[in-house]
Amino acid sequence: MEPDLTRINALIRYLKDGIVNTDLNDSVEYESREPSDDDEFQLASDSYTTDSLSQDSSICESNAPFDLNEWLIIDSRSSRRRSPLILEFLRLLLEKPHYSSYASYTNSSRGIFQIHKPNEVAALWDRVRSRKSTQVMSYDTFARAIRYYYKDGAMIKTNSRHTFQFRTVTSGIEDTNNLVSW
């Protein structure tokens, strides 16, 4: 029984548009065995179309498709577009309303925010940063990168889980047209 390549390709395109990072070198191996009468029933009940995937809220809670251009920063020195630094990424994440389920301010006047979906934020940072690594960005690695800013004074320790605080005036990061200071 031949797989329906158009449905598979449509599903792969859908997944590449923001749900899951897929690698073009990954291949799907099909189990070769004799088809039975139960296979047709199984295929009909297990088949997903892109419409049914988009309706399933457990797969993707952010309905916004990923667009790298919305995350790029205009560098004040070279006037070129670049990927954001992690602090710029956090500010952009907090100001985008369609990512409010990922992270939000608990006290915006003091710059305190909480990450509600740590693994999703780390995966989003991995995509925004356009890392060329084969390893998946974990939340532990992401949080460690944020903690490096404690010594510089750009971030203040909060002693709460998944909670961080910006210093009110972050040195070294200029307020561009993409960033909103509070």
- Dihedral pair phi/psi, residue 115, rounded to 5°: -95, 115
Cα 86-89-94 angle, rounded to 5 deg: 130
Residue 21 and residue 99 share a domain: no
Residue 156 and residue 81 share a domain: yes
50 assigned to some structural domain? yes
Residue 73 and residue 51 share a domain: no
User: How confident is the prediction along the chain (182 residues), in pLDDT tens digits per residue?
Assistant: 566 677 777 666 666 664 444 444 444 444 444 555 554 444 444 444 334 333 333 333 455 678 888 999 998 899 899 999 999 999 999 999 999 999 999 998 999 999 999 999 999 999 998 877 788 889 999 999 999 999 999 999 998 999 999 997 544 444 444 444 44
181 assigned to some structural domain? no
Measured N-to-C along each axis, helices 139-147 and 86-95 cross at an angle, to the nearest 10 degrees, of 110
Q: Is this prediction's pTM over 0.85?
A: no
